[in-house]
Structure 1
Amino acid sequence: MQQLVNEIVQAMNNDRHADALRMSRELAQTFPRDEGVRSLLAVSEQNAGDLNVSKKLLLELTSEHPNRWQHWNNLGNVQRLQGELESAGEAYEKALQLNPQSPRLLANLGLLQLNLGNFRQARTYLCKACTLPGSEPGMRIWAAVACQASSDDETARMLIHDWSTWPPTSEESRVELGWLLIQLGDHKGGHAILSGEFQDTGLRMRAFARRVLALERVNQIDEALMLTRTITDPAQIADLQARMETLQALGLIAARLKDHAAARKYYSDALALDLPQRYRRPLCFGLARACDHLGETEAAMEAFAMAHSSVDASTIEQSGLPETGLLSLLDPGKRFAGPPTWEVGKAEPDRESPVFVVGFPRSGTTLLEQMLDAHEAFASTDEQPMVQRMLAHLDARGIAYPGGLANLGEADRATLREIYFKEVANTIKLEPGVRLVDKHPLNFLALPLIRFVFPQAPLIFCQRHPCDSLLSSYMQDFRDPRLAAECSSLQRLADLYVRLTERWISDAKFFPDNILFSRYEELISDPDTQLRKIGDFLGLEDVSAMHEFSKHAEARGFIATPSYSQVVEGLNTDAEGRWKRYREYLQPILPTLTPVLEHWGYDA
């Protein structure tokens, strides 16, 4: 008996689920009432795809042996896979009461929260599981997935940095690892994993679909299209997860090819499947954008509302968010009282100070960044947290921001610059004579810090009609949990826009020098004049290369902002004034925006 049990476990570990099931059934015929054999059969049935048989066995086992945590854990796994998430949570909690230090149980609770879309709670469970004795590499993969979904890329990278040295993990974990590596910028490693062999048909199809998504993400549309031509008809795919991911990939490519009717159909079919919340949000956004392009404003707004409700904003806000991210600088206690009392210090040479590109979200910052990056004098970092690293350093030293800047000296300024450029070096290598472009829209909330560290740095503030900027933000699936929460309704966005404007006005009056305002509508309608103005501001004689930004962006591949697909298309005015089509939805918030509209010189 033991030899056969060992062979079954080995077959499971090697993803030979059909063999494991056959041997488990043979063993169960010989020992039909043996607890261990029935447990092994239940897991084999689960792995082979018969969840109903597996659940029936496990319900019997938990009833007969209620103090065995393994049975409760296995029951939770099956219920989670069947979408019975509340019951799964109850089963996991019972198992955890019986074995509170089990990394497997904590990991399963984390996977449950991941399916529910509660990414930060998932991160808590999964990261804790990784610290306990007996944790497995696969748990680190899922913990990294939760971290990345929570906008914590740094921890995600740390968790999987040595993945190539790990023993083999499950095929499902490998699919997640491949996709995660691509999202974190390791396209070579991710593609290698997703292009590998998968015994499970559903997982093989999921890996294939994610290869399509990965190619689209780096703007390799022709290659992605070639792959889609070999995809199995989604209607013929039995595995619901694989069918959904296939439909998502087809919808995304259809949208890139401007076949928005087809995209709408693919996304609608995917949303009709009974799948966990984790997967619904991007599908809702895809459907909404397709409807927007088709001019179906009512359907678009319904889909956007569904997208924002798929992850409850109140759940997001309960995760300690007021202390995180640049938006935390909107706290009234972090308003700069000014004027600055610190010594200006030794001015850094022009080429050693970054060019800061800031503005409200969805105001054309990525467009301008790519224009600058196309010029040989500049290199951009694609929204990296250099400013946040300096803020974290101040916090670690117990220096209150921004008031504590007044107590810092030249040595502190040098240290902060070192921290800043160390983070830059993690992303790009600046060649001699090349100037950094630091584009992060909300960096302007740290204007006092920027002016303390880089007194002479040029700052370009991107402007766009507030209604267009706000509407576009509402239409984006932001990863940052705090920003996603702020974008969950138009009224919340309007309130945020007002607070951002007030903070900019308050800080800019103390630091008015070396600022250029770039209006999005003027940049796309008269690029010659506007790029010449930008060139003069930055001391450039020739700005012709900046006109070729779309080709440069396409060659660059990965662009880590929601505008990655727009900037490779060149200049167009399709999104200018789009808010007017949605006036009836924006009308209730126009009174809130009136002071902002007047300040920036826009009409409603």
Structure 2
Amino acid sequence: MPSSADLSARMLAAYQGGDMATVLALGEHAADADDTMLLLLGAAQQSLARLDDALATFGRLVRRRPDVPEYWNNLAVVARGLGDGDTAEQALRRAVALAPHEAEIHYNLGLLYAEQQRWLLAREALLEAVHLAPGFIDARLQAAHACHVCGDNSAEEAMLDGAGHWPPQPAEQALKLATMLATQGALAAAFDVLDKAILPAGDDARIARLRIAARRAALHERNNRTAEAQGELAALPPSALDALAADQQGLRSEGWSAHAAVAARLGDLAGATMLYQRVLDHAGEADVRANAAFGLAAALDKQGRRDEAWQAALAAHAAQWEIARDIVPELLADGSQPLAMAGHRVGPAEHARWTSLSAPGGRESPVFVVGFPRSGTTLLEQMIDAHPDFRSMDERAFVYELTERMNLAGQAYPAGLTAMTQLEANQLRAIYAGLAARVVPDLGGRQLVDKNPLNMLCLPMIMRLFPEARIILCLRHPCDVLLSCFMQSFRSPAFMVMCSSLQRLAEGYVNAFEQWLGHVEVFAPRVLEWRYEAVVQGFDEHVAWLGRFLEVDDASPMARFAEHARNKGYISTPSYAQVTQGIHGKAVNRWHAYRDMFAPVLPTLRPLMQRLGYRE
């Protein structure tokens, strides 16, 4: 009989030569296998998809050597392949305890959690893997995806830094990466990723090509390129989708959804309704059901089928509730505050104690466009961005990020604003400028436009850093705002929770405006109130009024915002399609068709409606 050393050497040579059958023959009949032999045997069994055998082999190995983290990691990978999540998690946690600085182990733990849709834990583990190995591209991609699901836009963007230069990705990863890059506004990079995707072998390549075509169509539609979307879908007709095998429901749903979105854009509302309903009848994943239900609600609403539209919206929110339950469980409790920033307030006495600081003037400061979501902020942003003197950076949470930087530095926001030094203020402005420069490196001499509706909750930070800034508050009838929010899909988990019922929405709306109105009294900022209904009735005079507020000589380019929006490409908000259509009054008093639904929340809204100058 050969010695253990000779047998190990022969097994290693066979393994390196790809001869897994010989590895099995030598290893399975070894009377006294050493660690190396067991490791090679388990790897060969795993390679040949004999996962039950591999699990037993690696189990034997960790019992023999419980102090070796790599063995626990191997056991976990096989257990995950068998769908044994409990064993995989226990093994990976043991491996992390033994080797806390090993990025690969954190990565595998993150993949397990992502597979289980435990997204907060997945995000934590994957970000740790990237922290330990910044050049670990697979970990960066998966961490970005976990951040994307959790609504952590800043971390997602950081993980994707330089992604346009990553090597070609396997098709599954390429689909994720392209979607995230498009969300960041990097559409050309997104299509490049799809073009270079590495396809699997055999018939799976055909399925991958169809999935890529469906994703390309969806990206084109999302970027107001309807004709290009139609071109992609020509290779993916509904009949071909219907003929797919039963295990291709994901592809089928994505294809139907893309066809439905294009049909709705072209006015084929009956066709869109049928396709969205088909997705709902077959989809299992909560995010797929939510998106389809929101699309169905919009198509039904445009057909005047209000009761059915409302039921579809309720189904969409029920699906989003499932998503939020795993990401922000603390917000599902009664009395929770999804808009946490609304609880931060600065009173007159506190403001009076602020140290005196020098600050940029109005022309050197950004123009801030604020207001509750669905109040017309995107429309106004595109109007200003159409003027050559201004440059918008789409919707970014940079002001929020400054408040987080303060908290991380041990200066609680907003209390830390009181004793802020000149150096600290300059540092925060420099951070803000750096963040903006990554998005609009071509700003040049143009004035920055920072449109983020809920920056209205960060007025103390804005006033501390840019006290002379011009701020435009977008207003729209509160009931129209709430209806539009209720009928729209938001990626933010906190917003998913707040928009899940009209009552939560009404309370969130009131809390946001009570804070805003209180801060306006304290700070007396340079604010223009921009009422959607008045703009619809007198567009030209409001364009001139806006020009005077922004101190521009010729405001006429702002009137051509729709053309500008059509040429702009990616617009991150749900209004991406509406702003390309120009000014119309279809959205004014839209809530009247749903008046019965609003009866329970009117008592909550009524006092604020009166303060804002709106009637029922």
- Which TM-score bucket, shorter chain as reference? 0.7 to 0.9
Structure 1 residues 191 and 426: CA distance shift in structure 2, 3 A? same
Distance, in Å, in 1 between the alignment partners of 2:208 and 2:566 is 30
Judge which range, 213-222 or 359-368, deviates more.
213-222
Residues 39 and 345 from structure 1, CA distance in 2 versus in 1: closer, same or farther, beyond 3 angstroms? Answer: closer
Structure 2 CA distance for aligned equivalents of residues 431 and 166 of structure 1: 27
Query: What is the aligned partner in structure 2 of residue 195 from structure 1?
Result: 195
Distance 2:307 2:446 in 1: 48
3-state secondary structure, aligned to 1:379: strand
**What is the correspondence of 1:407-446 to structure 2 with a 5 Å cutoff?**
407-429=419-441, 431=443, 433-446=445-458
Max Rg structure: 2
Aligned to 1:575, the other structure's residue is in SS state coil
Structure 2: distance between partners of 1:575 and 1:112: 45
Give the alignment partner of residue 327 of structure 1, picking from 301, 314, 339.
Answer: 339
Which residue does the alignment assign to 1:355?
367
**Match in the other structure for 2:476:** 464
Structure 1: how far apart are the matches of 2:378 and 2:555? Answer: 17
* Deviation of the 1:283 alpha carbon: 2.4
Name the counterpart of 2:232: 227
How far apart are 1:285 and its partner, in Å?
2.0
Alignment of 1:154-193 (within 5 A): 154-163=154-163, 169-193=169-193
Match of 2:311 among 302, 309, 313: 302
**Counterpart residue number, 2:489:** 477
Q: TM-score, normalised by structure 1?
A: 0.83
User: 1:13 aligns to what?
Assistant: none
Aligned CA distance change for structure 1 residues 63 and 513 (closer, same or farther; 3 Å) = closer
Counterpart-to-counterpart distance in 1, 2:599 and 2:109: 43
Residue 530 of structure 1 and its aligned partner are, at CA, apart by 1.6
Do 1:234 and 1:243's aligned partners in 2 also have CA atoms closer than 8 Å? yes
The aligned residue for residue 40 of structure 1 is 47
8 Å CA contact 1:130–1:140 kept in 2: the answer is: yes
- Among 557, 571, 577, the residue aligned to 2:583: 571
Separation (CA, whole Å) in 1 of partners of 2:360 and 2:228 = 45
Q: 1:77/1:338 Cα in 2 relative to 1: closer, same or farther (>3 Å)?
A: same
Tell me the equivalent position of 1:237.
Answer: 244
- Counterpart CA distance in 1 for 2:444 and 2:129 is 45
2:518 alignment partner AA: S
Q: Which residue of 2 aligns with 1:263?
A: 272
Distance 1:7 1:250, change over 3 A: farther
What letter corresponds to residue 512 of structure 1 in structure 2?
A: A
Distance 2:16 2:424 in 1: 62
Deviation at 1:412, TM superposition (A): 3.8
1:278-297 → structure 2 map (5 Å cutoff): 278-297=287-306
After superposition, residues 483-494 of structure 1 pair within 5 angstroms as 483-494=495-506
Q: 1:382 pairs with 394, 398, 408, which one?
A: 394
CA offset at residue 469 of structure 1?
0.7
Deviation at 1:441, TM superposition (A): 0.9
CA positional deviation for 1:194: 0.9
Counterpart amino acid of residue 435 in structure 2: E
Query: Secondary structure of 1:510's match?
Result: helix
Q: Which amino acid aligns with 1:40?
A: S
Q: Partner residue of 1:588? A: 600
Q: Which amino acid counterpart does residue 89 of structure 2 have in structure 1?
A: E
Which letter does structure 1 place at the counterpart of 2:327? I
Q: Does the C-alpha gap of structure 1 residues 164 and 377 become closer, same or farther in structure 2, counting only changes over 3 Å?
A: closer
Do the aligned partners of residues 502 and 161 (structure 1) sit closer, same or farther apart at CA in structure 2, a change above 3 Å counting?
closer
2:339 aligned counterpart, secondary structure = helix
In 2, the alpha carbon distance for the partners of 1:136 and 1:430 equals 30
1:158/1:321 Cα in 2 relative to 1: closer, same or farther (>3 Å)? Answer: farther
Is the 8 Å Cα contact of residues 336 and 448 (structure 1) preserved in structure 2?
A: no
Task: Report deviation, 1:392.
Answer: 3.0
- For 2:296 and 2:284, how far apart are their aligned partners in 1? 16
Structure 2 SS opposite 1:272? helix
- More displaced, 258-267 or 155-164? 155-164
1:140 is aligned to: 140
Write the distance in 1 (CA, Å) between the matches of 2:156 and 2:518: 36
CA distance in 1, matches of 2:479, 2:581: 23
Counterparts of 2:563 and 2:134, CA distance in 1: 50
User: What's the CA shift for 1:240?
Assistant: 2.1
Whether the aligned pair in 2 keeps the contact of 1:326 and 1:445 (CA below 8 Å) is: no
CA deviation after TM superposition for structure 1 residue 523, in Å: 1.0
Residues 406, 361 of structure 1: alpha-carbon distance in 2 compared, 3 angstrom cutoff: same
Deviation of 1:592 after TM superposition, in Å, equals 1.0
Alpha-carbon distance in structure 1 between the residues aligned to 2:442 and 2:396: 15
Counterparts of 1:158 and 1:598, CA distance in 2: 43
* SS, match of residue 357 in structure 1: strand
* Alignment of 1:317 onto 2:328: yes
Question: What is the aligned length?
Answer: 566
With over 3 angstroms needed to count, the CA separation of the structure-2 counterparts of 1:105 and 1:181, relative to structure 1, is: same
Gaps of 5+ in 2: 1-10, 30-40, 62-71
Deviation at 1:555, TM superposition (A): 1.0
Assess, with a 3 A threshold, how the Cα gap between structure 1 residues 501 and 333 changes in structure 2: closer, same or farther.
closer
Distance in 2 between residues matched to 1:320 and 1:228, nearest whole Å: 40
The 1:553–1:169 alpha-carbon spacing in structure 2 relative to 1, beyond 3 Å, is: closer
Match of 1:15 in 2: none
Change (3 A) 1:421 1:135: closer
C-alpha displacement of 1:163: 4.4
The secondary structure found in structure 2 opposite 1:515 is strand
The alpha carbon displacement at 1:416 in A equals 3.1
More displaced, 406-415 or 286-295? 406-415
Offset at 1:401?
A: 2.7
Cα distance in structure 2, aligned partners of 1:65 and 1:342: 63
Residue 579 of structure 2: SS of its match in structure 1?
A: coil
Offset at residue 553 of structure 1 (A):
0.9
Identity %: 34
Aligned partner letter, 1:479: R
1:64-213 pair list within 5 angstroms: 70=74, 73-74=77-78, 76-77=80-81, 79=83, 88-96=84-92, 99-100=95-96, 107=107, 110-111=110-111, 113-114=113-114, 118-130=118-130, 137-163=137-163, 169-196=169-196, 198-199=199-200, 200-213=205-218
User: Cα deviation per residue 1:468-509 (whole Å; 9 max; x = unaligned)?
Assistant: 111211222222222222222211111111111110121111
1:435 CA drift (Å): 1.7
Mapped contact 1:464–1:519 kept (Cα < 8 A): yes
Task: Note the C-alpha offset of 1:369.
Answer: 0.8
Q: Which amino acid aligns with 1:93?
A: E
SS in 2 for 1:348: coil
2:531 is matched with 519
Q: CA offset at residue 66 of structure 1?
A: 5.6
Question: 2:474 aligns to what SS in structure 1?
Answer: strand
What's the secondary structure of 1:576's corresponding residue?
coil
Deviation at 1:568, TM superposition (A): 0.9
CA distance 1:575–1:278, shift in 2 (3 Å): same
Equivalent residue, structure 1, for 2:259: 250
Q: Secondary structure at the match of 1:461?
A: strand
SS in 2 for 1:363: coil
Q: Which moved more, 1:343-352 or 1:457-466?
A: 343-352
8 A Cα contact 2:43 2:54, kept in partner: no
* Residues 1:97 and 1:570: Cα distance change in structure 2 (over 3 Å): same
Instruction: Tell me the distance in 1 between the aligned counterparts of 2:468 and 2:338.
Output: 22
Q: Give the 3-state SS of the residue equivalent to 2:467 in structure 1.
A: coil
Q: CA deviation at 1:362?
A: 0.8
TM-score by length of 2: 0.82
Amino acid paired to 1:388: Y
Change (3 A) 1:548 1:283: same
- CA-based RMSD of the aligned residues comes to 3.5
